[in-house]
Chain A
């Protein structure tokens, strides 16, 4: 469904992605592991068109994404939860959700249904719906960021380090929501530092090093044999 073929990207003069090739099938949860600074987040940004791919192609359901404006991607079915969450700090929780809900082709009923759904998954967001996004705790902001992507009803969500800096209880909640999305058939491309979590929720895993994919395997295989993990990640 989503496939990257030999994608290169630059930040100014530094070459950060050296030919990344990744595939995600419909409904599949794919983990993207690697040390800091190997280009995992850049890979997601390149898919979203936030970093321009200098070579290679990114296709989604057969459609080329490179060169497409970022704001057209959600309508195609891509949701993005960035690394630093980036909730709209001065907008209330409800307004944050409305940035995704108030799109063309939405009926009031459907809107309400979606809102109820994310409130059911994240009851704390209902409580805080009139509170400014910036006043939420880190974990709550992460939930809001995920909920905000969910109301877009994406076919795939790009999740960038959703558990970074969160308390263990919150990590458990994030894991639960990933699993729920998985059973609903939403594909996920998950960038994480948390190896056990990634291996637990993913179907397949790619390991990146120096701007390229060095290894890929099923999560089950990696769970059974952690030598590879040790080799690339040192854990």
Chain B
């Protein structure tokens, strides 16, 4: 199968390039690439819902944010700070809130699902923003970066390069896992829900249960992105729970191409490159041109960059 070989060849090339990237890129761009990977993971996680199940979540910031705050909790309460504990706390927090949100929101469809996820993320935003004693309120929480450790073997503080590789490893593993899941029978059922929910139900699949699992799965990977972001930046802040972040996640999906897993990562990269590019001319108002590009893409390139390229190549 040359198509599959080509796919893995391309995949290998991209991963290799990303491995080499921190060794050749200047400090600013190294950080830039690491961040794109993290946001790309967040976007990829929401693709499970948007692209594969046909449910547009407008509340992914809450899972991301809970991942951040979960990691913060582990890093602030347990000494010495432990990376793996931060990961566990973050994922558990994201999974718990995802279960809660999923239970309510999956009973609704289309726009109603979107609005419900949006509202839930805002509820948590308000709670986090106002519960200053625990969450630090508006200022958020800051903490020390945990070292990279393999218990009993080694412990080393992160350098920008090793942090990048750690993030890259996590994102690549997540991608392979999510790809596997979307191609599994479970993933097929999700796609069949997207194509025709009543028929999927009629065949006998418990659609609601599948949707709940999909939201939780998506939420956990979004939480992982949150943990990585917290570790990289050494803080958790309410701004990242705000719905604007959720909106950006949807933008990444649309720009890159929904239902491809890779597309959203490409979309995140495209968005950040546009941001850098336009920041030079528009300073902090870069969202004016980026927003216009986004609107044009919604109208004219609804399949996203990747879908657009694929169609071009197939011609």
Whether the complex brings A and B within 8 Å at their CB atoms is answered no
Q: Interface residues, chain B, CB within 8 Å of chain A?
A: none
